[in-house]
Amino acid sequence: MKRVVILLLIVVFFSLTHLCLGKLNEGRDEFQLLSSPFESAPPELVLATTALGGFRGIIVDYLWIRAMELQRSGKFFELVQIYDWIGKMEPRMEMVWGHNAWNMAYNISVELPSAEERWTWIKRGIELLRDEGLKYNPRSTLLYRELAWIYLHKIGKFHDRFHWYYKMKLSEEMEELKLEPERMLELTEIYGPLDWRLAQSHAIYWLTKGVEVSGEEQALNYDRLILHAVISLCETGRFVRTPAGFILTEPDFRFLDTADRLYREMMEKYGRETGLASAHENFLQSSVMLLYTYGQNRKSLECYRRLRKLNPVHYRLPFEDYIFARIRENIKGASPLEMSALIHGILRQALMSLAIGDDEKSAGLENLAKLIWKKYMEKYGDNENYRLPPFKVMRDSVVKRVLEGEFPQNLQNRLRERLGYVSETSE
């Protein structure tokens, strides 16, 4: 008898729930409170979000509790399935997509031993945000930001020991990334010659889409990230693959004026009290050294003059004296990208000196580059995240580049002669 009563109560409960749900849906349609997320949605999503009716919220609450338990215990693979279920039942809950993508790209990937396995999960995180999360939440500033951050940080930086592999795979898989050609062209006109093999370019792409849907309270954060991506391109925006298979990124000074312009525009828009003024000064300091070490002495002097206008009291040293003081500072505590740029720049000047016949200066500069490489590797060589390529690989990369057009033709011809002479005598 009790079972019959219970069954009757269940039937009555479901019937009332169905009637109430129907009324609620009619009200939503009438007052346009919520547009349908199920246009062209997969059947399992439609089923999960309609068949469960009023119980969906209770199940989602339970799954959230379970997700937090799995997160605390580090069971990241199980967490993927939980987030997937929540996403199917509540596709408009943007944080679910963000959490799941982060879990894939960061938590799960680092648990795996090989570069290929890690890249698989990083890609899954990107695809989850791009193809699913943003499909159901096209105005989510959170998801645009999360997608851009995976590109900018996980792939574009060097914190993961397989970061060079990710950079290489991104360059190879460019054609599969579902970008709009018109937007790519527009961004190139605004920011400069973006190389779509690079993670920073993809970060800019998704950040600018996020800007279009963000409110004023989010504008500064988005503009800062776009600026950060442009600065990163200025420092490491040239993608080089050596014949030996090494992947190198080198400075691209075509983005220097863009970064300088963005700093000035942001200070005018948001004010100097946001910390932009000091950040701008630091950027110009780094640019002075980067330009000088790459033989761009005229542009380096231009940057130094901008610094003097910003702070005439602090930058009183003559240009050459300032450069010498900063070189001694830069050798201490530099990042792999900064150290690589310094070594490449010194080697470039060594080759220029060799081409014009200043053998003594050339030998001195090459010895300095080798010494800097040696001291850096003595300190960081055991750490895969910070290790530099072999010195010979770095030197060969610079030689190849200057002989393929960076030097005038007459200097290229002269350098070829001198390198041949040097190689014979060195043997």
In a domain, 130, yes or no: no
Q: What is the pLDDT of residue 4?
A: 45
In a domain, 414, yes or no: yes
Cα separation, 402 vs 356, in Å, equals 14
Q: What is the pLDDT of residue 409?
A: 83
In a domain, 308, yes or no: no
Cα separation, 70 vs 55, in Å, equals 23
Asked whether 91 and 49 are in contact (CB, 8 A), the reply is: yes
Distances (CA, A) of 243 to 136, 344, 422: 44, 17, 22
In a domain, 183, yes or no: no
Q: State the number of CA atoms in the 13 A half-sphere of 48 facing the CB.
A: 18
- For 328, other C-beta atoms within 10 Å of its C-beta total 8
Cα separation, 266 vs 281, in Å, equals 14
- Provide the domain limits for residue 364: 332-427
Cα separation, 16 vs 182, in Å, equals 52
Q: Could you tell me the pTM of the whole model?
A: 0.62
Cα separation, 102 vs 98, in Å, equals 6
Nearest Cα residue to 167 out of 145, 190, 197, 143: 197
- For 348, other C-beta atoms within 10 Å of its C-beta total 22
In a domain, 401, yes or no: yes
Retrieve residue 199's tokens.
């993670």
Backbone φ, ψ for residue 241 (5° rounding): -115, 115
Q: What is the pLDDT of residue 72?
A: 81
Q: What is the pLDDT of residue 32?
A: 43
Q: What angle do CA 133, 135, 140 make, to 5 degrees?
A: 60
Cα separation, 119 vs 359, in Å, equals 46
User: What does the pLDDT profile of the chain (427 residues) look like in tens digits?
Assistant: 544 444 444 444 444 444 454 544 454 444 444 434 444 445 544 555 555 555 566 676 667 778 788 878 888 888 888 888 788 778 888 988 998 899 899 999 998 999 999 999 999 999 999 999 999 999 999 999 999 999 999 999 888 989 989 988 888 887 687 788 899 999 999 999 999 888 999 999 999 998 888 877 788 889 999 999 999 999 888 877 655 565 667 789 999 999 999 999 999 998 877 889 999 999 999 899 888 777 677 888 999 999 999 888 889 998 888 887 777 676 666 778 888 888 888 898 889 888 888 787 788 788 878 878 887 888 888 888 888 899 999 999 999 888 887 787 888 888 888 888 444 333 3
DSSP code of residue 301: H
Cα separation, 20 vs 5, in Å, equals 22
Cα separation, 351 vs 358, in Å, equals 10
Backbone φ, ψ for residue 163 (5° rounding): -60, -30
Please enumerate in sequence order all residues whose Cβ is within 8 A of that of 127, keeping only pairs 6 or more positions apart, or say none: none
Q: State the number of CA atoms in the 13 A half-sphere of 124 facing the CB.
A: 19
DSSP code of residue 389: P
In a domain, 7, yes or no: no
DSSP lists the bridge partners of residue 9 as none
The SS3 assignment for 113 reads: coil
In the chain, count H helices and then E strands: 20, 2
In a domain, 391, yes or no: yes
In a domain, 123, yes or no: no
How many structural domains are present in the chain?
1
Please enumerate in sequence order all residues whose Cβ is within 8 A of that of 58, keeping only pairs 6 or more positions apart, or say none: none
Instruction: Name the burial class of residue 322, with classes exposed (0-12), middle (13-18) and buried (19+) by CB atoms within 10 angstroms of its CB.
Output: buried
Torsion angle defined by CA atoms of residues 238, 242, 245 and 251, in that order, rounded to the nearest 10 degrees: -20
